[in-house]
Every structure is written in C-alpha cells, then in structure tokens.
C-alpha cells in the first residue's frame, strides 16, 4: 500500500519542479531574470530555515564545521536557476526540462565513470553509452520539434 503512495508522491515532486520552472520563467519574463531567481532563493532560504530550525534533529557536524568545498553546491544552483528563468519563456517548459535532465544524467554518468567528488568509480559500459546517445537524441528531437513548429508558424500565420 505504501509503495504506490510513495510513487505518487514522487511524481508530484517531479511535477512540482516542472511547475516551478514554468512559474519562474513567466515571472522572469515580466520582472527580470536576476530578480525572479533572487526571489526564488530568498523564499526558499526563509522556508528551509524555518523547517531546519524546528524539525532538524541535532547533528554532530554543522555547516560551519564541514570542509568549505562541500558548500560550493549553491554556485551550480544559481547558474541553473538563471539558465531556467532565461530559457523557459524562449523555448518552453518541456524543452528546457528535457535539456536539464539530459545534462544531469550525462554528468552523473561522467561522475560515475571518473569517480569525481569522491564517488565510487562505475565505468561506462555498452548500455551506458547507449543511454548517453539516447539523451543526446532526445535533445535533438526537442530541437526538431521547435524547428517544425517554427516552420508551420511561418507558413500559415494565424
């Protein structure tokens, strides 16, 4: 009983991400890319602070005691948010989402292959090479979909 429930929860979690891209893209188009990303991070920080303050069990280590390089993740998060806010109004939510996911999966294959970030090495095998090719193919198809649409719109302006 629990398992289907969790899977629904996960689908909702993913849907929430797509909705976030879409909403932020729309806001960015109206109020500016940096402004919109800034608001997202500020609200996120306020909410997570409250959640952490009241619900996080005490831990041995704190953010102030871990090695500093472990705190650099935010740099990538900011670049991602700026890219999404800029891209969504221009290419649509689905194209941006497919590009992000392909990038994520390609990079995780590379991280595994080289064992970056002190992860275990999992070399690329045949099925992982095919997976990489499929991801690049998916981006190509989304691009073609845009080209087709563009051509249609040029041919029959409605």
Partner 1 sequence: MRHALILLGVLIAGMGLSVEAGLLGPLGEQVGHLSATLSIFMVGALLLSLALVFAPKRQLGALFKQPRWLLTGGILGPVYVIVLTLATPLVGVGMTMVGILCGQVAASVAIDHFGWLGSEQRKVDGYRIGALAMILAALWLM
**Per-residue mark of binding to partner 1, 101-130 (x: CB under 8 A):** xxxxxxxxx-x----xxxx-------xx-x
Is 100 near partner 1 (CB under 8 A)?
yes
CB of 157 to partner 1, least distance (A): 15
CB of 140 to partner 1, least distance (A): 8
**Given the complex with partner 1, which of 121 and 134 has the nearer CB atom?**
134
**Given the complex with partner 1, which of 57 and 123 has the nearer CB atom?**
57
Residues 36-75 close enough to bind partner 1 by CB under 8 A: 36-45, 47-49, 51-52, 55-57, 59-63, 66, 70-75
72-to-23, 75, 130 alpha-carbon distances in Å:
26, 6, 32
């Amino acid at each position: 009983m629990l398992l289907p429930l969790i899977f629904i929860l996960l689908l909702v979690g993913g849907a929430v991400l797509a909705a976030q891209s879409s909403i932020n893209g729309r806001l960015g188009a109206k109020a500016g890319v940096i402004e919109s990303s800034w608001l997202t991070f500020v609200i996120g920080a306020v909410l997570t602070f409250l959640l952490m303050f009241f619900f996080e069990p005490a831990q041995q280590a704190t953010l102030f005691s871990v090695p500093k390089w472990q705190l650099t993740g935010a740099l990538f998060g900011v670049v991602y948010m700026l890219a999404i806010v800029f891209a969504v109004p221009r290419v649509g939510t689905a194209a941006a989402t497919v590009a992000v996911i392909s990038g994520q999966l390609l990079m995780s294959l590379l991280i595994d292959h080289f064992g970056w970030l002190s992860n275990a090495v999992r070399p690329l095998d045949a099925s992982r090479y095919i997976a990489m090719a499929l991801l690049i193919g998916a981006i190509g198809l989304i691009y073609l979909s845009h080209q087709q649409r563009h051509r249609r719109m040029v041919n029959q302006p409605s």
